[in-house]
Amino acid sequence: MNRNDELFERAQRTIPAGVNSPVRAFRSVGGTPRFLARGEGPYVWDADGRRYIDYVGSWGPAIVGHAHPEVVRAVQDAARHGLSFGAPTEIEIEMAETLVRRLPSLELVRLVSSGTEATMSALRLARGHTGRPKIVKFEGCYHGHGDSLLVKAGSGALTFGQPSSAGVPPGIANLTIVLPYNDVAAVEAAFRADGDAIACVIVEPIAGNMNMVVPDDGYLAALRAICDRHGAVLIFDEVMTGFRVHPRGVQGLVGVTPDLTTLGKVIGGGMPVGAFGGRREIMAKIAPLGPVYQAGTLSGNPVAVAAGLATLALTEAPGFYERLAAKARALVDGLEAAAKRAGVPFRANAVGGMFGLYFADRVPSTCDAVMACDKERFNRFFHAMLDAGVYLAPSAYEAGFVSAAHGDADIAETVRLAERAFVAAAR
C-alpha cells in the first residue's frame, strides 16, 4: 500500500469520506485521492513524493504558481506581527483600496473569509436593500453552500448527481428561481411572472462549476437591462473569475457593470479571503451603517490579506494577463490537436488563465450540454493523465487553471502526455 492509500484509509476514520470538501474524494472519477505534500511553481508533489504538473491550482487561487517567494515572504512578514487581532488593521484598508481601484464597480467593499461567505452576504444584502424575498440563479452555477444557493447547483453537487442538498428547507428553496444559463427569454418570463418579488439575479459571468461555460454575446448585458427595468440587484459572482480572466474580471472583459460583486480565490493568493462590494447606496445597508447584519471574527485576517495583496501586486506586471492567456490558449489548442490525432470527439476552450475540457463535438453553452458530454471518457483520460504526472480537476464538471509559473515546456509536456491519454480515453 502506498502512502496515499494509507492516508486515505486513515482519514476516513475521522473525516467524512476522508476529505474536507466533496470533490476531493475522487468519487466521480474513481480511485484514491492524492494527498499533496507541497507545491512549487506549476508543480505539486504527493505524499509518495511524485511530482505532477498542476492545473487545479487550489481551484484557481494559485495564479502566480505555488509558494511564490514574494507571496511567502509577505505571509512570513505579516505572521511575525501576530496572526489575528479581531480589530481593524491598516492592511485591510490597503486591500479594500486595491479592490476598489481595480474594479470600478466597487464603491465600498467588505472583506470576509471565503467565497461562500461573500455570496451569502451579498444575497442577504440584496434582499435587505430591495425588501424582496426571491432570487434568480442559473442551472449549474455554484455560488457556495448557502441554503438559498444549493438548488440545481454546480461543482460537487453536479459531480455527485445531487443538484440540491438535504437539509435545505422547502420554504427556503422555494424562494430560489432556477433558470437555464444563456437563456434571456427565460429570465424575461420569470420577471414577468414574479418581478415584484425578485430581489436579485446572481450569476457566474463565466461559469466554472459546470466545467467552463462562457456567456453568449449580449447575455450579461441583457441581464443588466432586465434588472434595471425591474429594480432588481445584479450580482456577479466573480469568486473564480475575479482577476483570473482579466485584470478587471469578467465585468471589465465584457463591459457590463453589476450592482454587487463577490470575490475570493485570487484575492487571497491561496489563503482564506473573500469579499463582496458594489454600489455605495447598497453597501451602506450593511451593519453598522444599516440594518443588514454581517460579521466575522477573522474577516480581513492580516496574514491572509498579506498573501492576497502580494499576489495581486504580481498580476499587475506589464503583460501579465496577455502571457497568462497565451499559455492557456496554447494548452487547449494543443489538447484539441492531440485528440483529433487520436480520433476522439473533444473540444476545449480558454478565457484568460481559465480553461474547460469537453468530451463532445462542440463547446457547450448550457448545463444540459455539459451533462451530455462523455463523462466516462473524461474519467479514463483523467486517470491516464494522473498516472503520467498531470494533475487535472477530478471531475468532468470543473474548470481548470493555468498559472504564470507554467512554462512552454510544461505545456508541451502536457500535450505530449495527452497523446497517449486520449488513446486510453477512446477505449
Q: Which residues are catalytic?
A: 142, 237, 265
CB-count exposure of residue 17 (10 Å: 0-12, 13-18, 19+): middle
Q: Which of 95-125 are b and which e, b meaning 16 or more Cβ less than 10 Å from the residue's Cβ?
A: bbebbeebbebbebbbbbbbbbbbbbbbbbb
CA distance 252 to 262: 14
- Selection from 416, 427, 422 nearest residue 344 by Cα: 422
Which cell goes with 42?
506549476
CA distance 390 to 170: 42
CA distance 83 to 181: 42
Supply the angle between the helices 375-388 and 408-426 in degrees, to the nearest 10: 130
- Selection from 308, 304, 288, 397 nearest residue 29 by Cα: 397
CA distance 246 to 253: 6
Helix ranges, 215-257 (H): 219-230, 249-254
Contact 333, 350 (CB under 8 A): no
